[in-house]
């Protein structure tokens, strides 16, 4: 049974109530390099530790009944980093899957991805495709990994496809609305995030799910991603439960979302 040492009794009771847990949590995993530098280690060591920490957070999310966990693993802007660092980061999915896939299967986790997947190296694509195939029948937590993802690129691609469909009479321009646009995004089969977490003290979205987080709650922490443990995650969940989500109205009922 989970213990929540940093929360009082009332908070523990609230966090145990499944209705109060966000269905979709999106995390910007930031601070791997600074975590390593603080310890006199190379940046790559920080990325390795950050990868290993995913296991802990997936298990915690799963135990609390979170339905979708989206992790910002590699952005379209990350290609600007030194080639050696990029090459290492893009080898981590294969290593993660090799080590942790059996446990993810046992935990009933289903792996999905969003992003320009076909532009990733072949070895990254092959490893992730294998993991997606081996977990496709699982119906528990969806571990949604944002790989080579950029929200502006996503929206540009959606606009291009919408334009093509209108020109070919597959889509009536008068029928275009927010829901139709959402159906052209990578996340068309997923709920929008309820909670966005960013680690390492930065307070920006960095081109992450700009359309999808229009009504999400935000939670920032100075903790670097490799140190983002169960206790910190539980604090985020507890704080979320004290938020009043009105979706532009006077009620927290999602049916009234504007």
Residue 105 is assigned to a structural domain of this protein:
yes
Annotated catalytic residue, options 30, 32, 53, 148: 30
Residue 63 is assigned to a structural domain of this protein:
yes
Domain enclosing residue 199, as ranges: 21-157+193-241
Residue 25 is assigned to a structural domain of this protein:
yes
Looking at the 3D structure of the chain, how many domains does it have?
Answer: 1
More confident residue, 251 or 208: 208
Annotated catalytic residue, options 32, 53, 62, 78: 78
pLDDT tens digit string along 109-168? 999 999 999 999 999 999 999 999 999 999 999 999 999 999 999 999 999 999 999 999
Whether 30 is catalytic is yes
Q: Which two tokens stand for residue 161?
A: 């496809």
Residue 170 is assigned to a structural domain of this protein:
no
Q: Which of 194, 190, 193 is nearest to 243 (CA)?
A: 194
Whether 78 is catalytic is yes
**Claim: this prediction has a pTM higher than 0.75:** yes
Residue 3 is assigned to a structural domain of this protein:
no
148: CATH = 3.40.1180.10
Residue 172 is assigned to a structural domain of this protein:
no
Distance of CA 149 to the CA centre of its chain: 11
d(CA 32, CA 200) in angstroms, rounded, equals: 9
pLDDT tens digit string along 33-84? 999 999 999 999 999 999 999 999 999 999 999 999 999 999 999 999 999 9
Residue 82 is assigned to a structural domain of this protein:
yes
Angle at 30 between CA 61 and CA 59, to 5 degrees: 15
């Amino acid at each position: 049974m989970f213990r929540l040492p940093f929360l009082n009794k009332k908070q523990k009771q609230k966090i145990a109530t499944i209705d109060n847990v966000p269905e979709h949590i999106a995390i910007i995993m930031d601070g791997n390099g600074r975590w390593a530098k603080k310890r006199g280690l190379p940046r790559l060591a920080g990325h390795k530790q950050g990868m290993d920490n995913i296991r802990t957070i997936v298990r915690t999310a799963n135990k609390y009944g979170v339905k979708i966990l989206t992790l910002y693993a590699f952005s379209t802007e990350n290609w600007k980093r030194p080639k050696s660092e990029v090459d290492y980061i893009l080898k981590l999915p294969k290593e993660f899957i090799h080590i942790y896939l059996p446990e993810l299967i046992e935990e009933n986790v289903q792996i999905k991805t969003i992003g320009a997947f076909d532009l990733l190296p072949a070895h990254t694509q092959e490893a992730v495709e294998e993991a997606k195939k081996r977990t496709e029948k699982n119906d528990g937590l969806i571990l949604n990994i944002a790989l080579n993802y950029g929200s502006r690129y996503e929206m540009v691609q959606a606009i291009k496809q919408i334009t093509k469909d209108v020109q070919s009479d597959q889509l009536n321009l008068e029928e275009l609305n927010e829901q139709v646009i959402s159906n052209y995004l990578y996340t068309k089969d997923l709920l929008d995030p309820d909670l966005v977490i960013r680690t390492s003290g930065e307070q920006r979205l960095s081109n992450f799910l700009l359309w999808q987080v229009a009504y999400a709650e935000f939670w920032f922490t100075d903790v670097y991603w490799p140190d983002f443990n169960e206790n910190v995650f539980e604090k985020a969940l507890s704080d979320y439960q004290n938020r009043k989500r009105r979706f532009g109205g006077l009620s927290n009922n999602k049916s009234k979302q504007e």
